[in-house]
Amino acid sequence: MKFKREDAIHKAVELFLSPDSDFSIINLAEQLGVSANEIYEVYTGKDAVLADFYALVAEESFRLTKAIPDFHEFTLAEKLTAVVHTSFDLLDEQRDFVEQTFKSHFLDSIYYPKVEKAVRQQLKDLVNHDSGVSAYIMITQIDLVYDFYFKEYTHLLRFWLKDRSEGKEKTYALTDKLTSFVEEVLYNKVVDKGFDLAKYFLQNNIIKLPFGLNDWFKG
């Protein structure tokens, strides 16, 4: 790629919003000092460049948040909140663009899965480095949690966009509740404890299984 992805996206947003210019790949290429073909090698068209803004926001939010000096001291809910808040901040910097394109270039866009992939990967990254997450959840339910989190991330962005409360107070409250809920689900050790109890019963022959299976648990 002979141009920086961020430059292309920011320039595209600028052109899109400019009342004096007709936004096209040719215009964009001109502005970036590359050929149109070079842009087509990366993007299928001008809408793809604009849609990539939302994936960039998701990725940048995570990068910026991880750069917080005491990020490692944050709870999981605080980490997620920080990522979501940073997304709000980045979106707010291009508020006009977001208001015009949120539905067309994000929610209804064929590039939506790209954002989904980025957001799921972020949660995965955080979960993999968090010793508090329930083993049972990790083994059996983690994809459901990832799905849920991404859907809620999307809902939060939409809620933020419509929120007219002072200082976006309602959005902050909702974010706080959602991230706390996600943390609670991931940390829920009820099933882990259940397994632990069952294992103890079996190892100590309090419950007897046929075919000498208790010995297998002692192993």
Partner 1 sequence: MSDYVPSNKMERSALLLKTGANVGGQYLKHGLRNAFRKKEKRTPLSEIHTQNARTIFDALTQLRGTALKLAQGLSMDTGILPEEFADIFAGAQYNVPPINRALVRSLVRKELGKYPEQLFKSFNSTAKAAASIGQAHEAELMDGRNVIVKVQYPSVRDSISSDLAVVKGLIRQVLPREKIDVYFEEVRDKLMEETDYRIEGSQISEFRSYYQDEWLEMPEYVEEFSTERLLTMTRLSGLHIDQFLAQSPSQEERNHFGQLLWDFFHLQINDHYVFHADTHPGNYLLTDDKKLGVLDFGCVKRYPNAFFDRYMSLMPMHLNEMDELVWDAYADLEMIFPDAKKQDVEVAFYEFCLDFGKSFVEPYRHASYDFGDKNFMDQLSKYVKEISQFGEPRGSKHFIYTAKTHFGLYVLLHQLGAVVETEKGRERVMDFVASKGYAVEP
159 binds partner 1 (CB under 8 A): no
* Contacts (CB under 8 A) with partner 1, residues 187-206: none
Q: Does 185 bind partner 1 (CB under 8 A)?
A: no
∠ CA 7-94-5, nearest 5°, is 20
Identity of the residue, 22 or 166, whose beta carbon is nearer to partner 1 in the bound complex? 166
The pair of structure tokens assigned to 42 is 């990366």
82 binds partner 1 (CB under 8 A): yes
- In angstroms, the CA 79 to CA 72 distance is 9
Give the ranges where 74-189 is alpha helix by DSSP (H): 76-93, 95-101, 112-128, 135-136, 142-162, 169-187
* Count of positions (residues) in the chain: 219
**How many Å apart are CA 103 and CA 50, to the nearest integer?**
12
Residue closer to partner 1 (CB basis): 11 or 79? 79
Residue 101, both tokens: 């394109």
Q: Which residues make Cβ contacts (< 8 Å) with residue 131, sequence separation at least 6?
A: none
The yes or no reply on residue 85 touching partner 1 (CB under 8 A) is yes
Closer residue to partner 1 (CB): 134 or 175: 175
Q: How far apart are CA 132 and CA 82, in angstroms?
A: 19
Nearer to partner 1, 49 or 186 (CB): 186
Which residues ranging from 49 to 68 are in contact with partner 1 (CB under 8 A)? 64, 67-68
Taking CB under 8 A as the binding criterion, the range among 28-36, 51-59, 84-92, 154-162 that sits at the site for partner 1 is 84-92
Q: Could you say which of 11, 46, 79, 120 contacts partner 1 (CB under 8 A)?
A: 79
- Residues within the interface to partner 1 (CB under 8 A): 64, 67-70, 73-74, 77-79, 81-82, 85-86, 88-89, 165-167, 169, 172-173, 176-177, 180
